[in-house]
Amino acid sequence: METTTTLGKNGPVVTRLGIGTWAWGDKLFWNYGGDYGAAQVKEAFEGAVKAGVTFFDTAEVYGLGESESLLGKFMKQIDTPVDIATKYGPLPWRFTARSVADALTASLKRLQLPQITLYQVHWPFTFFLTQETLMNALADEVQQGRIKSVGVSNYSAEEMRQAHEILAKRGVPLAVNQVNYSLLYRKIETQGILATAKELDITILAYSPLAQGLLTGKYTSEQANKPDGARKFDERFSETGLRKIAPVLDLLKQLGEKYQKTQAQVALNWLIAQENVIPIPGAKNLNQATQNAGALGWSLNPEEVAELELLSRSWL
Ligand SMILES: NC(=O)c1ccc[n+]([C@@H]2O[C@H](COP(=O)([O-])OP(=O)(O)OC[C@H]3O[C@@H](n4cnc5c(N)ncnc54)[C@H](OP(=O)(O)O)[C@@H]3O)[C@@H](O)[C@H]2O)c1
């Protein structure tokens, strides 16, 4: 299995798996400052790089800038080049092309970088800013060299096609659509997003690829292990929710035993087996980062990929 790939057809080369950093500095959804903090996420960063994973996904809103700032500090302390993907939030008061340039300037400052690998629009709803203005502002940044490639996130098949067309007029490819995708959330397959991405050579960055921890097998209806933060209120983590996913976790365990891999590693390997998909699992500490990086470098066979597909059809 190749351990690197391009973003889009001929875009920047990155590792076939990235690490998500939403939980780095975030107290609103996650529990940063509670059972983990700066020391643990620093170890997660170093552990990922050591294990060969050098692609990190962040956003200006994660920890209100703290995730980017932490990455900026950590990168200064190592020599290995790292690929950063961050995101622009089209908030209601941002209605000019200038807002893109200003937000990017602020992100680059926190990251302490002159250039990033990928800049994504965090969600499609842009209030008064048109997709035309937005995509053109992003194309300008590619031309000026502050970003190597352009991506979107949470875009439908149609919105993705429109963004792709606007950018194409400027000779800039749409490299990425970052969407929710895992064995327990397969809507991109039924909503035409995966097929359109393949047709247009757009890479899918799979967010929440472990279904926010559910696919690691550590939350089960038998165990008292409860998730922290906002997930406490998520039905999927309730007793009924956990009972529903038990067969998927059983198969992940069984396959994991064959390859000496964890359930999380098998679940991520299934995503890697889908063409043009890069999973970006979150990691809060060294153990999680190292484990998630271990989803690379081996492959489930086609029958096993199909078996998992069959068993997870209720999440299509
Ligand atoms: N574009 C968007 O709108 C959007 C939305 C969501 C996420 N994202 C991106 O996608 C990334 C990943 O998504 P996510 O954080 O929502 O979900 P995820 O990757 O499915 O789950 C991450 C959580 O699972 C647990 N975990 C991770 N690896 C583990 C392991 N090996 N063993 C045991 N537990 C493990 C950790 O929480 P516990 O230890 O507390 O269980 C971790 O915080 C984010 O960091 C962010 O970069 C983007």
Indicate the top mutation candidate among 67, 121, 284, 285 to test ligand 1's pocket, ranked by most ligand atoms within 8 A of CB: 284
Single-letter residue type at 29:
F
Residues known to be catalytic: 62
For domain 4-315, give the CATH number. 3.20.20.100
The amino acid present at 140, given as its one-letter code, is: D
pLDDT tens figures, 162-215: 999 999 999 999 999 999 999 999 999 999 999 999 999 999 999 999 999 999
Write phi, then psi, for 204 (nearest 5 degrees): -95, 125
Query: pLDDT tens digits for 75-97?
Result: 999 999 999 999 999 999 999 99
Q: Calculate how far, in angstroms, residue 166's C-alpha sits from the geometric centre of ligand 1.
A: 32
pTM: 0.98
CB-based pocket (< 6 A), ligand 1? 20-23, 57, 122, 153-154, 178, 207-213, 216, 218, 227-228, 264, 280-284, 288, 291-292
Q: Atom 38 (ligand 1): residue with closest C-alpha?
A: 213
pLDDT of residue 229: 84
157 has a pLDDT exceeding 80? yes
Q: Hey, whose CA ends up nearest to atom 19 of ligand 1?
A: 281
The pair of three-digit structure tokens given for residue 137, joined into one six-digit string? 């502002």
Residue 223 has pLDDT above 80, yes or no: no
Q: Which residue has the tokens 């996130």?
A: 153
DSSP per position, 243-286: HHHHHHHHHHHHHHHHHT--HHHHHHHHHHHSTTEEE--B-SSH
User: For a substitution probing ligand 1, which of 17, 19, 22, 223 has the most ligand atoms within 8 Å of its CB?
Assistant: 22
Give percent above pLDDT 90 in the chain. Answer: 94
- Can you give the pLDDT at residue 226? 83
Per-residue pLDDT, 164: 98
- 228 confidence band (pLDDT: 50, 70, 90): confident
Q: What is the pLDDT of residue 220?
A: 87
pLDDT of residue 3 exceeding 90 = yes
Residue-level pLDDT at 2: 87
- Span from the CA of 108 to the centroid of ligand 1 (angstroms): 24
pLDDT of residue 206: 98
Q: Model confidence over 44-67: pLDDT tens digits?
A: 999 999 999 999 999 999 999 999
Asked whether residue 224 carries a pLDDT value surpassing 80, the answer given is: no
